[in-house]
Structure 1
Amino acid sequence: MARHPELVDRYRRTGARRPETLANLWQRVADAHPEREAVVAPDGRMTYAELAVASDRIAVGLRESGLLPGERVLVQSGNSVATAMAWYGMLKAGLVPVCTLPAHRHHEIEAVGRRAGAAAHLVQEQPRFDVHGFAAEMSAAVPSLRVTLTLGAGAGAAGIRIEDLAAAGDPHTARAGVTEVQAGLDPDGIAVLQLSGGTTGTPKLIPRRHHEYWYNAERYAAVLGWDAHVRVAHLMPIVHNAGIVCGLHAPHSVGGTAVLLPPDPDVVLPAVAAERVTDLIAGTPMAALARSLVGQGRHLERIVIAGSKPPEGMFELFESAGVWVGQLYGMAEGFFTVTPLDAPRAVRRWSVGVPISESDEAAILGPGTETEVPDGEVGEMCVRGPYTVTGYFDARPGDEAAETTAHNARAFTSEGYYRTGDLGMVRIEDGHRCYSIEGRIKDVIDRGGEKISVDELEALLAGHPRIAEVAVVAMPDPRLGERGCAFVVPRAGEILALPDVQEYLAGRGVAKFKWPERVELVDALPRTAVGKIDKNAMRAAVAGLVEAQAAGR
């Protein structure tokens, strides 16, 4: 953004960038709504007053552990009240959460930890996985890590228990300590590091700054007409950009309630009814639950479909129950579009709406160019605005960070527009100008909203001693939208099956959601007339196989 100071001035004049920290902006809401429920999850519930005191205490405890404002914390925790306490405690301590996933393993966490220069690692108990052994393994692998924080750990476990910090100390003393820390922070500084859905290997780090990150959430809540009475259910990982912005900060920006649930129908369906949920985001994986949600969601007022175009019948099913249905397009890098409440049905059904801020700007450019294409034609969605990033973060020394520096140089146009890699189009529906997403330039698999880098997966599989050549493509899936399929040319005399491939990736410490879920053995990868690997042919082939199997042929 340094190349475009006039934009910064414009955003400040419009109030999109205020001289306040994220934690102070949240605290103002908590002070205004002390007795309202702030967060509900399977592990309990808290009012704003209770969450404010607990997070103040956590912040002081984190400082006393030796962590300093500005240091980064790897966060691996799920949808829980404990996560919300830890989140606001870290922000109040001036620490920078690095938003990884509970499913990430050695391959991802070591690389992200090194890129972030992380000082601490927060882990939450997981079934059938030793998080304490994993945290010790990461401490040995990432030189900057020196503190382990835990959620849900038993007494005597290694590390600092967040629950112990939340229960200790005088509330007035803790509040004074937080006030002192916040006074020393720069509202233009980095508050959170999110992960990109990168296509070239390790996710890149996206710096989200104090004022703009809260503004992002405020605008999302405003477009949907939220107030303090909303009860917003979030089923996807909360420590993820959509989770933090839409599931936590947005309801909290208006004094509403965040209902954090795991993606388990046995938990979700009764909770939607019992917790009087008014709003939720429905991704493609929820299509199978749509009918049950309609039956249970007696208080549902709004559902926003995100991640991909609505599966056939999903939109109509919710609508038939009298629930307002819209669509969302967004990214960890910032820019959001949402279909407005008063938008005609055609806008809500066939588009992802319009930008949530009047200061947002979108341009549909010819891919790889800076030439805008006419309305109705497909091009690359390029965006800029008060809460859209202007570059990726990398704490490593210059030579090691060269990849990030090079990416920053090509990821933005000369006018500061971020190249999303998504194919979009301006369309006119019932006289309204709006946007639709028509695919992607980037080679990724969208598995239930989690983006899997095909380049990364192919590079990993190329190291398998029994694989001569490999290509990975997306195959259609009715529940998750897409899953990965690996076309494999085995080395001479070798035979591989899916378990062999998955076992190899497990041994490399690769997150399970990235593993291919189908393997097709071939004598040679299909190629185009000019000798390039023909992924279109492979996508068509596996789609045909999936369709035939579904039909029982």
Structure 2
Amino acid sequence: MKREDFPRHRKEDEELYLKKRWWLGMTLGDVLDRTADVFSNKVAVADDNGQVTWSELKAKVDRLAVSLMDLGIGKGDCVLLQLPNWHEYVCAYFAMQRIGAVPVLLISGYRQLEVGHLGLATEAKAWIVPDVYRKMDYVSFMDEVKAKNPQMKHVISVRATKGGAGFTTSLEKLMEGGLTDADRERLAMAKPEATDIAHIVPSGGTTGLPKGIPRTHNDYICDVEFLHKGWEMSTSDVALLVVPVGHNLALLNVVGTAVVGYKLVLTDSTRPGDLCKLIEQHKVSYMPLVPTLVRRILESPDLTNYDLTSLRKISAGGEPSTPDLIRDVYKKLNNCTYVNEFGMSEGILTRTSMTDDIDTICSTVGKPCCPYAVIKIIDDKGKELPRGTDGELAVWGPTVFAGYLKNPEENKKSYTADGLFRTGDQARINAAGYLTITGRIKDIIIRGGENITPSQVEDILCSHPGIADAAVIGMPDKVLGEQVCAYVRPAAGVKLDPEEIKAFMDSQGASKLLVPERFEFVDAIPMTQAGKHDKKALKKDIKEKLGIS
């Protein structure tokens, strides 16, 4: 794709960001080079296949970049990147940054519908993918994806287990050998501009086909730099990445390791015992997670079987962190700080600081990581609301993207007249400038004309000692329009009674409006690939139970 096919930041914004040096004018390839040159013999990335040093990683990246050019992939060409938490993902991502190619980050669970759609939307020339991963057989729908994408000339295998049938080549083959002087010259000539698109992340919504979110080298490096400064990350840190690398939450740390120079440990296991073992083995100091996984770790009997004293920081986003979960971290993990955060692939990141008190961490998601970001709470007409008032969160700044890919209608709706991005999240800002997310505007339950925020009900439910997790949705009702339905996962060995839960909510001061009309007790709540409650699946389930088509 050509640069003009992508949305651009407003000219006046670009000029300001560069003048203020909020944008550094560097590419992600530059960032990798600097860190590899300084820490050449230090371990960069470790996974289930071993580990690579920075000099080894740089050599693999450069060799692969040249091989991709030999396949006809160059500046502006999109490549679907669909890999698990393997070091090959890091190699492929940074190889494309070398030559201005654009990785399109796909989660492992995407099948022909999403892969075919995103391939066509981005005009992808190649697809990097395993043949099989866990229960997913990508070869089974490969022909369907290729038929929908005639422009896709290459399907590149990684760790093929069935001989590579259906693939045009393998990533392993493309990384073989060294570089000639001519190769190095080609790499230098292929270097992109800092204003070029670095990658495209699909939107993480639970309805409809995903939208493409393009990010430039400038705005993404700015995003990562300030995020990691806020986390007080240093070259002595070791980060364990459990979140799937196809998500922005993970990519912030893949790029973060190149920006900061810490060691990155990749795992595709979410079993608490495996994670505890890796923390002990690698002396992990930091883990970015989703709250659901934090809870699973804290509830695991393996927690006391390993030495976890190296763990100093846990950050969690993607869904609300309940106060009881946060306080449990401080009880069960000595000297570990919980960073409560909120972020979007579109570019806004907020977090509590390492020095915030526990009440602030429990009740807010902190302040913007980038001190030059602007956050406002606005009404439906775009007017700014006073502090302490609920409204829509709108943001502006050097970390925010320029707009969705090939989606002018969505872009028109998504920005205010003065250039702020409307996040679609309901929030408030307190007198001290701390942000609290109070719900998702589209997720609001409207019961008899009254608005109910699901996260508020979930927080109360999860404070019940017998409830391990809860997800709240609106269920159809002929009289009221919607009623409140709660899917509840009881704590181990606990039998729950709806009337007792209602009494508990009453004792917590919850209005009757917040008390669910229906409870569904389940062994597990379905999750999206992003690690959030899959409310689309829950809404479908309750409709089936109610006999509504």
Q: TM-score range by the shorter chain?
A: 0.7 to 0.9
| Superposition pairs of residues 7-406 of structure 1, within 5 angstroms | 7-124=13-130, 125-154=132-161, 155-157=163-165, 158-170=167-179, 174-182=183-191, 185-198=192-205, 201-245=208-252, 247-265=253-271, 266-286=273-293, 287-292=295-300, 295=304, 296=306, 297-320=308-331, 321-366=334-379, 368-394=380-406, 404-406=407-409
Q: Distance in 2 between matches of 1:146 and 1:306?
A: 37
Answer with 232-241 or 190-199: which moved more.
190-199
Is this contact kept in 1: 2:32–2:259, CA < 8 A?
yes
CA shift, 1:444, in A, is: 9.6
Q: Distance in 2 between matches of 1:61 and 1:114?
A: 23
CA shift, 1:220, in A, is: 0.9
Structure 2 CA distance for partners of 1:252 and 1:444, relative to 1, 3 Å: farther
Unmatched 5+ stretches in structure 1: 395-403, 446-475, 488-524
CA shift, 1:199, in A, is: 6.0
Partner of 1:440: 440
Q: Distance in 1 between matches of 2:221 and 2:469?
A: 30
Output the amino acid matched with 2:410. H
CA shift, 1:548, in A, is: 9.3
CA shift, 1:291, in A, is: 4.9
Q: Distance in 2 between matches of 1:77 and 1:3?
A: 30
Is this contact kept in 2: 1:279–1:302, CA < 8 A?
yes
Partner of 1:410: 413
Output the amino acid matched with 1:434. Y
Q: Distance in 1 between matches of 2:173 and 2:9?
A: 46
3-state SS of paired residue (2:136): coil
What do you get for the CA RMSD once the two structures are aligned?
Answer: 2.8
Q: Kindly provide the CA deviation profile for residues 370-420 of structure 1, in whole angstroms up to 9, marking residues without a partner as x.
A: 1111211111111111011121112xxxxxxxxx21111111100111111
| Superposition pairs of residues 484-495 of structure 1, within 5 angstroms | none
Q: Distance in 1 between matches of 2:184 and 2:36?
A: 13
TM-score, normalised with respect to structure 2: 0.79
Q: Distance in 1 between matches of 2:27 and 2:256?
A: 16
Output the amino acid matched with 1:289. I
Q: Distance in 1 between matches of 2:110 and 2:290?
A: 21
Q: Distance in 1 between matches of 2:483 and 2:363?
A: 28
Is this contact kept in 1: 2:322–2:362, CA < 8 A?
no
Is this contact kept in 2: 1:285–1:479, CA < 8 A?
no
Structure 2 CA distance for partners of 1:411 and 1:156, relative to 1, 3 Å: closer
Is this contact kept in 2: 1:61–1:165, CA < 8 A?
yes
Structure 2 CA distance for partners of 1:421 and 1:243, relative to 1, 3 Å: same
Q: Distance in 2 between matches of 1:352 and 1:174?
A: 47
- Percent identity, aligned pairs only, is 24
Output the amino acid matched with 2:518. G
Structure 2 CA distance for partners of 1:528 and 1:15, relative to 1, 3 Å: farther
CA shift, 1:434, in A, is: 0.6
Q: Distance in 2 between matches of 1:549 and 1:318?
A: 23
Q: Kindly provide the CA deviation profile for residues 413-433 of structure 1, in whole angstroms up to 9, marking residues without a partner as x.
A: 0011111111111124xxx32
CA shift, 1:528, in A, is: 4.4
Answer with 194-203 or 209-218: which moved more.
194-203
Output the amino acid matched with 1:307. G
Q: Distance in 1 between matches of 2:199 and 2:405?
A: 11
Q: Kindly provide the CA deviation profile for residues 140-192 of structure 1, in whole angstroms up to 9, marking residues without a partner as x.
A: 1223211111111144542221111122233765444322211xx22111110
Output the amino acid matched with 2:381. T
Q: Kindly provide the CA deviation profile for residues 430-473 of structure 1, in whole angstroms up to 9, marking residues without a partner as x.
A: xx32101111112499xxxxxxxxxxxxxxxxxxxxxxxxxxxx
Is this contact kept in 1: 2:240–2:265, CA < 8 A?
yes
Structure 2 CA distance for partners of 1:200 and 1:132, relative to 1, 3 Å: closer
Output the amino acid matched with 1:284. P
3-state SS of paired residue (2:250): helix
Structure 2 CA distance for partners of 1:111 and 1:542, relative to 1, 3 Å: farther
Q: Distance in 1 between matches of 2:359 and 2:20?
A: 31
Q: Distance in 1 between matches of 2:86 and 2:319?
A: 26
Output the amino acid matched with 2:519. L
Partner of 2:509: none
Q: Distance in 1 between matches of 2:251 and 2:37?
A: 20
Partner of 1:527: 478
3-state SS of paired residue (1:534): strand
TM-score, normalised with respect to structure 1: 0.78
Structure 2 CA distance for partners of 1:63 and 1:407, relative to 1, 3 Å: same
Q: Distance in 2 between matches of 1:133 and 1:255?
A: 39
From 398, 403, 427, the counterpart of 1:424:
427
Q: Kindly provide the CA deviation profile for residues 306-335 of structure 1, in whole angstroms up to 9, marking residues without a partner as x.
A: 122223532122223221112110000001
Partner of 1:398: none
Partner of 1:401: none
**Runs of 4+ deviating beyond 6 Å:** 476-480, 537-543
Structure 2 CA distance for partners of 1:345 and 1:14, relative to 1, 3 Å: farther
3-state SS of paired residue (2:135): coil
Q: Distance in 1 between matches of 2:195 and 2:179?
A: 31
Q: Distance in 2 between matches of 1:149 and 1:437?
A: 41
3-state SS of paired residue (1:104): coil
Structure 2 CA distance for partners of 1:86 and 1:279, relative to 1, 3 Å: same
Is this contact kept in 1: 2:75–2:190, CA < 8 A?
yes
Q: Distance in 1 between matches of 2:14 and 2:179?
A: 40
Answer with 118-127 or 147-156: which moved more.
147-156
Q: Distance in 2 between matches of 1:52 and 1:548?
A: 47
Q: Distance in 1 between matches of 2:353 and 2:222?
A: 18
Unmatched 5+ stretches in structure 2: 1-6, 446-460, 488-513, 525-549
Q: Distance in 2 between matches of 1:268 and 1:413?
A: 43
Is this contact kept in 1: 2:156–2:169, CA < 8 A?
yes
Tell me whether 1:545 sits opposite 2:509 in the alignment: no
3-state SS of paired residue (1:442): helix
3-state SS of paired residue (2:518): helix
Structure 2 CA distance for partners of 1:41 and 1:111, relative to 1, 3 Å: same
Output the amino acid matched with 1:302. K
Q: Distance in 2 between matches of 1:242 and 1:543?
A: 35
3-state SS of paired residue (2:175): helix
Structure 2 CA distance for partners of 1:238 and 1:479, relative to 1, 3 Å: farther
Output the amino acid matched with 1:534. E
Answer with 262-271 or 278-287: which moved more.
262-271
